[in-house]
């Protein structure tokens, strides 16, 4: 609730300052609404993709902390399941995958393995403590997974295309991946985001920033595993916004995730780009533009 109120205040200020419009210039792409109750029938027609997907172990991971669901993007969910709409839309394309959620409470969901954990992140009174904890266990869940392909996602994502299989191939090729953010530049991210810090290294903040959903790891990627383990260490030692933690880990390990294009995490500034794979429907601009319905 607090995260939603903060987001709404920031959006209202942006409108007052002329940085945003109250209504987008573009109309929704379709008169047909998107809903987890109306997912179209789908089966893999490409036998090469089908054989590849069936030949590997796949695990999707979630990191959900605090019993009250908080969505900083503004959308309000009424889907009867903490992991929706991500869970149903991923299962639509990966019905045989393993699903695991890391949590600090008894989050019991059919077909999802629960790992109940205690956070090692310090500063429990900090207002961003649960966000930091969730990001810590995103990193940790990837490093701990034994699947050939593992992917951690937020619960407010909506997969809309079979091009999601490309994410598996990209991960196999590059070892580990993380999505682009509309803020792009780390310096800009630190200037406009919560829980940020000033960049003090020689880059002066001119590296690229990351979102944290989806992030992926291929089992044989030693660089990827070392990177996410280093993220865990830094989040405990110097807790802050995850994008800054990832930057620091890249500096220390001299490696960084392959940067996924916006189509894998369509945010408010990206609506209408075409070739959408995953919509970040926790952002109200995205949910409104693509006519996504949140009713269980």
pLDDT for 130-183, tens place per residue? 999 999 999 999 999 999 999 999 999 999 999 999 999 999 999 999 999 999
Q: How confident is the model at residue 42, as a pLDDT?
A: 83
Average pLDDT, the chain: 89
Alpha-carbon distance of 174 to 53, in angstroms, equals 17
> What are the residue boundaries of the structural domains of the chain, listed by start?
2-289
Query: How many C-beta atoms surround the C-beta of residue 196 within 10 A?
Result: 15
Q: How confident is the model at residue 2, as a pLDDT?
A: 46
Is residue 44 left, alpha or beta, with left meaning phi > 0 and alpha meaning psi from -120 to 50?
beta
Both tokens of 55, joined, read 């030949």
Note the Cα 260 to chain centre separation in Å: 12
Q: Is pTM beyond 0.85 here?
A: yes
* pLDDT beneath 50: ranges in the chain: 1-8, 15, 17-19, 21-24
CA angle 214, 220, 224 (to 5 degrees): 45
Q: How confident is the model at residue 7, as a pLDDT?
A: 42
Q: With beta carbons less than 8 A apart as the criterion, state whether 155 and 241 touch.
A: no
CATH of domain 2-289: 3.90.550.10
Both tokens of 120, joined, read 């090692």
């Amino acid at each position: 609730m607090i995260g939603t109120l903060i987001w709404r205040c920031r959006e209202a200020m942006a409108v007052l300052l002329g940085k945003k419009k109250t209504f987008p210039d573009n109309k929704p792409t379709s008169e047909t609404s998107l809903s987890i109750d109306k997912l179209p029938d789908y089966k893999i027609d490409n036998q090469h993709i089908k054989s590849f997907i069936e030949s590997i172990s796949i695990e999707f991971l979630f990191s959900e902390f605090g019993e009250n669901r908080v969505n900083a993007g503004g959308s309000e969910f009424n889907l009867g399941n903490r992991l929706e709409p991500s869970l149903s839309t991923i299962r639509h394309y990966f019905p045989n995958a393993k699903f695991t959620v890391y949590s600090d409470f008894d989050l019991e969901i059919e077909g999802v393995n629960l790992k109940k954990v205690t956070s090692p992140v310090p500063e429990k009174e900090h207002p961003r403590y649960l966000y930091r904890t969730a990001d810590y266990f995103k990193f940790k869940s990837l490093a701990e997974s034994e699947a050939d392909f593992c992917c951690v996602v937020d619960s407010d994502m909506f997969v809309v295309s079979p091009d999601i299989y490309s994410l598996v191939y990209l991960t196999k090729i590059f070892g580990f991946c993380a999505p682009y953010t509309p803020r792009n530049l780390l310096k800009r991210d630190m200037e406009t985001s919560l829980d940020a810090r000033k960049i003090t290294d020689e880059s002066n903040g001119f590296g690229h920033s990351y979102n944290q959903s989806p992030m992926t790891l291929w089992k044989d990627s030693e660089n990827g595993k070392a990177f996410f383990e280093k993220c865990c260490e830094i989040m405990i030692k110097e807790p802050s916004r995850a994008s800054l933690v990832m930057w620091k880990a890249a500096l220390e390990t001299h490696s960084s995730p392959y940067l996924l294009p916006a189509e894998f995490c369509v945010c408010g500034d990206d609506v209408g780009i075409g070739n959408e794979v995953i919509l970040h429907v926790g952002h109200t601009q995205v949910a409104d533009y693509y006519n996504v319905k949140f009713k269980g």
